[in-house]
Amino acid sequence: MSEPTTAAITLNIDGADVTVPSGTTILQAAGGRGCGIPTLCYGDTITPKNACRVCMVEVEGSRVLVPSCSRPVEPGMVVRTRSERVDHSRKMVLEFLGSSVDLSLTDHVDEWNAEYGADPTRYGADAATLADQPVKVDNDLYIRDYAKCILCYQCVDACGEQWQNSFVIEIAGRGFDSRVSTENDVSLPDSACVYCGNCIQVCPTGALMFKSEYDMRSAGTWDEEHQTVVDTICAFCGVGCNLSLHVQDNTIVKVMSPSDSSITHGNLCVKGRFGFQHAQNRP
């Protein structure tokens, strides 16, 4: 019996023929994250939810723009990643998001605003209703600042069926009232949260943040330029999860995990994620 083969599909992206395995998305075929197509709700370890619409591209014969992060390639597809229509759509999306929430900690937004001529301030201060809410600080491990939340669903999916299976958070409300919430909006200590921090790992906007980072940012001492990232193995148990320790002034300030790890896929438990103080409790 012959081995199953992965069918190769040839399509055209911006005038160049590209051949990729079937099942590849347009974004992956174009080079993945960093290829020039902006992405916000697309994560390395979460199935795309098509929530932000900033990655839209034009496909010949399609009435509407398509989300490149989730749309699989098809034979003979002709894709344009830049066109007047695409650029206009990205400009509007960046303006709508940027005018309603705080994107100051979201990577690349300033350069995309410049590239697409987006001016989120043109909708006036009244548009920033979602940004007008207090930071939720209800435990010593991580904070939730939903003024920075773009409702990308990544934390919900990481907490739910895609990774943690804890289902602590969901999208509550409808329309403009939509928000990420615990059940009945209880505080995290009163929820079923197991403090794995896998939601922080996937959040693209800084809405979910280590308390250590939040405190340092508030004190004006957070200094990413002078931080180093040290990859190591968690010593708490025999699973051997990969840790990326973010270190500033010889002190661990937060713990992430490589999303391309075949063991953890960026996920950890509470011990690996937050159990780092003992390593630096010095006399």
User: Which residues are at the interface with ligand SF4 (CB under 6 A)?
Assistant: 149-155, 158-159, 164, 166, 168-169, 180, 193-199, 202-205, 207-208
Please report, to the nearest 10 degrees, the dihedral formed by the alpha carbons of residues 91, 204, 252, 190 taken in order.
Answer: 140
Cβ distance to ligand FES smaller for residue 152 or 169: 152
* Residues 127, 122: Cα–Cα separation, whole Å: 9
Min dist CB 203 to ligand SF4, Å, is 3
Sequence-separated (6 or more) residues with CB below 8 Å from residue 211: 137, 139, 140, 141, 142, 143
User: Of ligand SF4, ligand FES, none, which one sits near residue 120, judging by CB under 5 to 8 A according to partner kind?
Assistant: none
Residue 266 C-beta: closest distance to ligand FES, Å: 17
- Number of neighbours of residue 70 by Cβ within 10 angstroms: 16
Number of residues located near ligand FES, criterion CB under 6 A: 13
Q: Least distance (Å) from ligand SF4 to the CB of residue 48?
A: 13
Q: How far apart are the C-alpha atoms of 117 and 139, rounded to whole Å? A: 40
Q: Residue 9 and residue 139: Cα distance in Å, rounded?
A: 50
66 binds, among ligand SF4, ligand FES, none (CB under 5 to 8 A by kind): none
E-strand ranges in the chain read 8-13, 16-21, 56-59, 66-67, 78-80, 142-144, 169-172, 179-182, 208-210, 227-233, 242-248, 251-256
* Alpha-helical segments (H) within 23-167: 26-29, 84-100, 109-116, 154-159
67 binds ligand FES (CB under 6 A): yes
Least spacing, CB of residue 129 vs ligand SF4, in Å: 16
Select from ligand SF4, ligand FES, none the partner in contact with residue 54, using the beta carbon and a kind-dependent cut-off of 5 to 8 Å.
ligand FES
Q: Which among 15, 14, 8, 70 has a CA at the least distance from the CA of 39?
A: 70
Give min distance, CB of 235 to ligand SF4, in A. Answer: 21
The one of ligand FES, ligand SF4, none whose footprint includes residue 166, by CB under 5 to 8 A per kind, is ligand SF4
Residue 103 interacts, among ligand FES, ligand SF4, none and using kind-specific CB cut-offs from 5 to 8 Å, with none
Span 19-58, contacts to ligand FES by CB under 6 A: 39-42, 48, 50-55
Give the binding site for ligand FES (CB under 6 A). 39-42, 48, 50-55, 67, 69
